[in-house]
């Protein structure tokens, strides 16, 4: 089942990559004219979409990589670079509101994907599987989806308490932490490959 630290260490990168507080202003902008019931339906739709994509990729992603012949250390470096690019982009430009979407599908696109589960989250998930195993990573995904549901469901209240500036500040701190995690993954991957080449 794994040590409790494995669950914590698997939770943090995925939580940072999802950045639910940083994405809260976008959610509010897309749903500001909806009723409470309509917003609840969009929340359920977005969480279900994000969870389905994450869980599917968690178990199929590694099979795809094994077919392609991609190793753990290769993906550590590549995944770290992807996370670093996303972190730098968010630090410099922040989240950009997606284009117009209809009420019927905004819970799927852009909220479910790519806002909640995009390349950065998928990369973080597979890296967590390699480092901590499937059970801690799956538990981390479930916990993060519960957090997303709670934050989005009470988005108006949270936004009024934290304020737009608070959301943006949290997003910047999360992006900086994600960048640090990305550098750590790249460093570990490169050192491991150097060690393999030396043997």
pLDDT tens-place values along the chain, 199 residues long: 568 899 999 999 999 889 898 788 778 877 878 888 999 999 999 999 999 999 998 888 878 777 888 776 777 787 778 778 877 877 787 655 444 455 678 899 878 987 898 777 888 898 899 889 999 999 999 999 999 999 999 988 887 887 767 777 777 777 787 788 778 778 887 888 888 787 6
Q: Residues 178, 180, 182, 183: what is their CA dihedral angle, to the nearest 10 degrees?
A: 170
How crowded is the C-beta side of 6, counted as CA atoms within 13 Å?
16
Residue-level pLDDT at 95: 55
Please name the residues in contact with 196: beta carbons below 8 A apart, sequence gap of 6 or more: 73
Residue-level pLDDT at 100: 45
Residue-level pLDDT at 65: 74
pTM tops 0.85: no
Residue-level pLDDT at 106: 87
């Amino acid at each position: 089942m794994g040590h409790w630290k494995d669950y914590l260490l698997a939770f943090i990168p995925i939580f940072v990559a999802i950045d639910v507080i940083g994405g809260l202003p976008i959610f509010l902008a897309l749903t500001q004219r909806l009723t409470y019931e309509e917003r609840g339906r969009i929340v359920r739709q977005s969480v279900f979409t994000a969870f389905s994509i994450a869980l599917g990729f968690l178990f199929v992603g590694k099979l795809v990589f094994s077919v392609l012949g991609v190793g753990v250390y290769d993906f550590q470096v590549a995944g770290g670079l992807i996370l670093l690019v996303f972190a730098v982009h968010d630090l410099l430009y922040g989240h950009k509101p997606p284009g117009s979407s209809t009420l019927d599908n905004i819970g799927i696109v852009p909220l479910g994907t790519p806002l909640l589960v995009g390349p950065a989250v998928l990369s973080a998930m597979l890296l967590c599987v390699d480092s901590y195993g499937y059970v801690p990573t799956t538990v981390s995904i479930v916990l993060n989806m519960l957090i997303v549901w709670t934050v989005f469901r009470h988005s108006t209240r949270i936004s009024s308490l934290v304020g737009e500036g608070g959301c943006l500040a949290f997003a910047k701190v999360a992006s900086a932490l994600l960048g640090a995690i990305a550098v750590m993954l790249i460093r570990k991957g490169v050192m491991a490959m150097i060690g393999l080449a030396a043997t």
